[in-house]
Structure 1
Amino acid sequence: GAENSKTIDTQINQYNCHFCLEMARPLLRSLWSTTRKSLSSSYCSHPSAPLKPYVSARATGFTRAFSAAPAAAAMAAAPSGALDPSQLRNVAVIAHVDHGKTTLMDRLLRQCGAEIPHERALDSISLERERGITIASKVTSISWKENELNMVDTPGHADFGGEVERVVGMVEGAILVVDAGEGPLAQTKFVLAKALKYGLRPILLLNKVDRPAVSEERCDEVESLVFDLFANLGASEEQLDFPVLYASAKEGWASSTFTKNPPDDVKNMSQLLDAIIRHVPPPTATLDAPFQMLVSMMERDFYLGRILTGRISSGSIRVGDRVHGLRKTDSRVEKIEEGKVLKLMKKKGTSMVLVDNAGAGDIISMAGLTSPSIGHTVANVEVMTALPTVELDPPTISMTFGVNDSSLAGRDGSHLTGGRIGDRLVAEAETNLAINVIPGLSDSYEVQGRGELQLGILIENMRREGFELSVSPPKVMYKIESGEKLEPIEEVTIEVNEEHVGLVMEALSHRRAEVTDMGP
């Protein structure tokens, strides 16, 4: 009413913005009526900012002091000043599915004083909590003995291997978690191969040693199996010299010596945190060079737009700096977009905090650019060199997504057209590089991925978002090399009683399988 209008006019006069009041008044009335919150006093540097469809970008540089999750739920102020790279450690937690990665992350966060509202605190996607699996990689930061540890939790399923591949370039070390009862399994080999390929320094953590069936002899056996796996994957001498720790992530402790129940004064994660500081090298980056960052993760926020996350390769960045996005093609480097850094954010524990600046070696999230995506470089405007990207494995299966043309169409969902389905699939491919989307005929799209679980998660997410669509059965993808048709192959480990070995061998021979190893 009149009182609100008077308050709005008073607020307008308090802002030092160069766009005209005729444009500002209806904008502020709209914001006031929808949010009932005050606006920030950010300086608007463009006198003729055009109106845009997103609330946060209606006037260039005109920002608000609040936002929606995940960008800034109760954001706190972080200490100012970029850290020296020697105080940083960037570490990924990798393992086979259900070997204890996410539980370990919970215990590390608690050890460093973070508030954990529930188990599997980093699994923020609803399907992750429902199914008890990690689907997307997450980055968080913890402090330990004057050092900053950027920890990356990765999925364990082979279908989500693309999440592992795109984060190995952000870290210098990896904690390889192995179930002491099960030993190294198929996905253990996959994630370890990626870590060794990019020169990461590993730490072996034998988890679940508190189980009754796990003995010290069993741990020695698993350690030997892991060492053989390292050697078979071509690990360097430095990588073969990995420390071994014994842990129960469920109980919240890790030890450098085998034990099933450590004393209360060391029944925590301090020995693992100390091992990270000792054995994982700090980033080899310099603060003096121009700013460069490779985008490894991307998410969308309604108010802030694209939030780009990556490790700063060189230099430092402050809020308000001018940067541009670069894309590397076969022959040259293309400039995608130039803009100003509006927000710098960093995940601390389970909360996102705003920071004023960040330096080389740190993992940071930024908002302000609308075009760069995963694999692109964000750099100082004077830099025209794109950083090398991580090579991803190709997809192995495909499915065709199309419009629901059945007699029951329109009863369950609200997004029915091929255009809406295509926009959603393209948006998914931007944030998930392991998925390829190829437009087909009659509003259909070929979606290529790593496995049925990965595509099934995508279908379920779209269903919950109100999409109706038709889906074809999955098809194995083939490729032609030198005129020869090739298909994907996989490595299979089968454990059976001795009397059934012949039947298994006969069944596998029909699939043209080759036996690489057989033993008790």
Structure 2
Amino acid sequence: MQSIRNIAIIAHVDHGKTTLVDKIIHASKLFRENQESGELILDNNDLERERGITILSKNVSVTYKDVKINIIDTPGHADFGGEVERVLKMADGVLLLVDAFEGPMPQTRFVLSKALGLGLTPIVVVNKVDKENCRPDEVHEQVFDLMFNLDATEEQLDFETMYGSSKMGWMSDDWQNQTDSITPLLDKILETIPEAPSPEGTPQFQVTSLDYSAYVGRIAIGRVYQGKLEEGKSMGLTKADGSIKRVRIKELQVFEGLGRVKVSEVKAGDLCAIVGLEDFEIGDTLTDFENPEPLPRIAIDEPTMNMLFTINNSPGFGSEGKFVTSRHLRDRLMKEIEKNLALKVEETDTEDKFLVYGRGILHLSVLIETMRREGYELMVGQPQVIYKEIDGQRCEPIESLVVDVPEDVSGKVIELATQRKGELKIMEPKGDQQHLEFDIPSRGLIGLRNNILTATAGEAVMNHRFKEYQPYKGEIKGRSNGSLISMENGPGTAYSIDKLQDRGVFFVAPGEDLYTGQVIGEHSRENDLVVNIQKGKKLTNMRAAGSDDNSKIAPPRRFSLEEAMEYIQKDEYLEITPQNIRMRKIYLDENTRLRMAKSAG
């Protein structure tokens, strides 16, 4: 029987995790010599490639020296924390990948603490030692300190370390001694990571993640902890409420290379995918129906934010997207919750509006961006945090915010965070940077990244993750400037924009098609201002010397999707189409807005 090693890879965004997996795949000759595979094999969705982040965890399996190594890729971003914990349950060891210059980052700490808590055996890989001014020895010390602070056991602190460059395709146990291949790392995995145990007995398989296929529906993915599973066999599925229902395994698949292959049975210790289970949830155990032995359930992180999704009813709707009706929107959201577990969708009293709950701005924006690329048109409202009643007190989600920033601008960061009810917990120098840690309400984070990056000239590195619910911290002042709103339909002219520049900053360039009620800029004062930028210049045949100087217009301010989501106010929507992202007022007509403001006031 083939020996198995299950290993999860942990790394911060951009430390080279996906590249390393690519190299391991190449090293184990998964691709034929002449087969084109391209780079970043694992990040196969466009968004992941563009942002350079792994969003969904994926499994890959390679065979080296007759041992099957299952590599489980974990997301490095805290918004996807729910994924991380479940994925780690499938592993027996963990590969911690750190950058030889940056060292362990805040996000790594979150995943690593979970891995150590589960008792996994770590191997540390210090990557990118070919970069100039890297400091592999210092980074090794930092990793040791980090593990010590996370209460690692004696055995875990006695970890093995490998150095190398996954980009150049080499690994070695001494960073000054460059080898020519990545195999020393694979040898180290076989030596260090314990073999997956395969106890006999009642079958136990826990669902830790899921896949979705249009042909066979939901596919359960997880690890067989005990006994063996056989195709076509009738089993029991234990649910959250303690009940058990009879199910049948239609098809079993194990991971091989980048894909899955069909098998007739799977033994304990291996990871597999099961087709044909009806109505299962994450954490359910598949076991014997007559004498069930369920495994302890896995908790899923709950959402901390929600946004209103609705159909696009702006003047130009339907001109760019393929899917514009409420039925399209509903079907797409329902399809998403089949496989995106930290997401919840709630229907409202009108059939074209949905409340979508997620783990944070990034989590929700990835969904919106994906839908936009698929050809959907929709509108979303301002992100709202989710409050809870705990012991009769109104509580809100608090996040732990970590900012690394140059020393001379750290004062500005502290000022901005404390204005939003952030409490400074830790302040310590880290090289030539200042390391700051705050406890801050989730709603205080909305829009904060923009302000901090502006104040620090883009030098700050920010990360945050959910900590706990705490009593409500009081009012937080939102954006202090009002909006500039278009009065007419049609393209704006350079002449009008030039004349109105002292009123604020524009988000649109001359010639862009606008509509009444669209937010086209930020007012220099607190109130909203309706402006007409469609007016052309009055033409006369009189010419005065010097008065005809050309308009000098500041370039428009452009927003990314996340920036726009954080920027909009309560009475505004974000209109999202495959080609454009526009901000607009919920009520396009000015008189309706005034009436609504009066009745609300």
- In structure 2, what is the Cα distance between the partners aligned to 1:514 and 1:148? 47
Equivalent position to 1:151, from 64, 71, 84: 71
Kept after mapping to 2: 8 A contact 1:318/1:356? yes
- In structure 1, what is the Cα distance between the partners aligned to 2:110 and 2:202? 35
Kept after mapping to 1: 8 A contact 2:204/2:224? yes
CA shift, 1:484, in A, is: 4.5
**3-state SS of 1:494 partner:** strand
In structure 1, the partner of 2:152 is 235
Kept after mapping to 1: 8 A contact 2:13/2:52? no
Correspondence list, 1:356-371, <5 A: 356-371=264-279
- In structure 2, what is the Cα distance between the partners aligned to 1:426 and 1:293? 26
- In structure 1, what is the Cα distance between the partners aligned to 2:99 and 2:172? 15
Normalized per residue, the structure richer in helix is 1
Larger Rg: 2
- In structure 2, what is the Cα distance between the partners aligned to 1:252 and 1:382? 51
- C-alpha change, 1:421 and 1:380, in structure 2 (3 Å) is farther
TM-score, scaled relative to structure 1: 0.76
**3-state SS of 1:150 partner:** strand
In structure 1, the partner of 2:294 is 386
- In structure 1, what is the Cα distance between the partners aligned to 2:76 and 2:14? 7
- In structure 2, what is the Cα distance between the partners aligned to 1:508 and 1:367? 48
- In structure 1, what is the Cα distance between the partners aligned to 2:258 and 2:126? 26
1:449 and 2:358 correspond: yes
In structure 2, the partner of 1:17 is none
1:204 and 2:124 correspond: yes
In structure 1, the partner of 2:213 is 301
1:104 and 2:20 correspond: yes
Correspondence list, 1:127-142, <5 A: 127-142=47-62
1:472 and 2:381 correspond: yes
- In structure 1, what is the Cα distance between the partners aligned to 2:66 and 2:125? 24
2:345 partner amino acid: V
- In structure 1, what is the Cα distance between the partners aligned to 2:150 and 2:355? 34
1:95 and 2:4 correspond: no
Percent identity over the alignment is: 41
**3-state SS of 2:427 partner:** coil
- C-alpha change, 1:309 and 1:487, in structure 2 (3 Å) is closer
Equivalent position to 1:315, from 216, 222, 227: 227
- C-alpha change, 1:408 and 1:492, in structure 2 (3 Å) is same
Correspondence list, 1:22-41, <5 A: none
CA shift, 1:420, in A, is: 4.1
Moved over 6 A (4+): none
In structure 1, the partner of 2:395 is 485
2:342 partner amino acid: A
2:138 partner amino acid: E
- In structure 2, what is the Cα distance between the partners aligned to 1:290 and 1:500? 60
Query: Which structure 1 residue ranges, 5 or more long, are not aligned?
Result: 1-82
**3-state SS of 1:395 partner:** coil
In structure 1, the partner of 2:253 is 345
2:67 partner amino acid: N
Deviates more, 1:418-427 or 1:189-198: 418-427
1:275 partner amino acid: K
1:187 partner amino acid: Q
Q: Deviations over 1:187-232 (max 9, x none)?
A: 1111111211222111111000011212xxx222111111111122
Kept after mapping to 1: 8 A contact 2:304/2:385? yes
- In structure 1, what is the Cα distance between the partners aligned to 2:354 and 2:296? 30
**3-state SS of 2:405 partner:** coil
CA shift, 1:255, in A, is: 0.8
- C-alpha change, 1:301 and 1:487, in structure 2 (3 Å) is closer
Kept after mapping to 2: 8 A contact 1:139/1:151? yes
Question: How many corresponding residue pairs?
Answer: 423
**3-state SS of 2:146 partner:** helix
CA shift, 1:485, in A, is: 2.4
TM-score, scaled relative to structure 2: 0.66
Correspondence list, 1:63-462, <5 A: 83=1, 87-115=3-31, 117-214=37-134, 218-259=135-176, 262-263=178-179, 267-286=180-199, 288-329=200-241, 332-335=242-245, 337-339=246-248, 341-443=249-351, 444-462=353-371
CA shift, 1:515, in A, is: 3.6
**3-state SS of 2:287 partner:** strand
Deviates more, 1:372-381 or 1:134-143: 372-381
Deviates more, 1:390-399 or 1:408-417: 408-417
1:90 partner amino acid: N
CA shift, 1:419, in A, is: 4.5
- In structure 2, what is the Cα distance between the partners aligned to 1:389 and 1:150? 23
**3-state SS of 2:423 partner:** coil
- In structure 2, what is the Cα distance between the partners aligned to 1:326 and 1:423? 29
CA shift, 1:96, in A, is: 0.6
**3-state SS of 1:516 partner:** strand
2:384 partner amino acid: K
**3-state SS of 1:375 partner:** coil
- C-alpha change, 1:515 and 1:464, in structure 2 (3 Å) is same
Query: Which structure 2 residue ranges, 5 or more long, are not aligned?
Result: 432-601
Deviates more, 1:95-104 or 1:269-278: 269-278
Normalized per residue, the structure richer in strand is 2
Give the root-mean-square deviation of aligned CA atoms. Answer: 2.2
- C-alpha change, 1:145 and 1:155, in structure 2 (3 Å) is same
1:438 partner amino acid: E
In structure 2, the partner of 1:24 is none
1:268 partner amino acid: S
**3-state SS of 2:356 partner:** strand
- C-alpha change, 1:457 and 1:507, in structure 2 (3 Å) is closer
1:516 and 2:436 correspond: no
Kept after mapping to 2: 8 A contact 1:478/1:488? no
- In structure 1, what is the Cα distance between the partners aligned to 2:154 and 2:26? 34
Kept after mapping to 2: 8 A contact 1:305/1:370? no
2:220 partner amino acid: L
CA shift, 1:175, in A, is: 0.4
Correspondence list, 1:28-67, <5 A: none
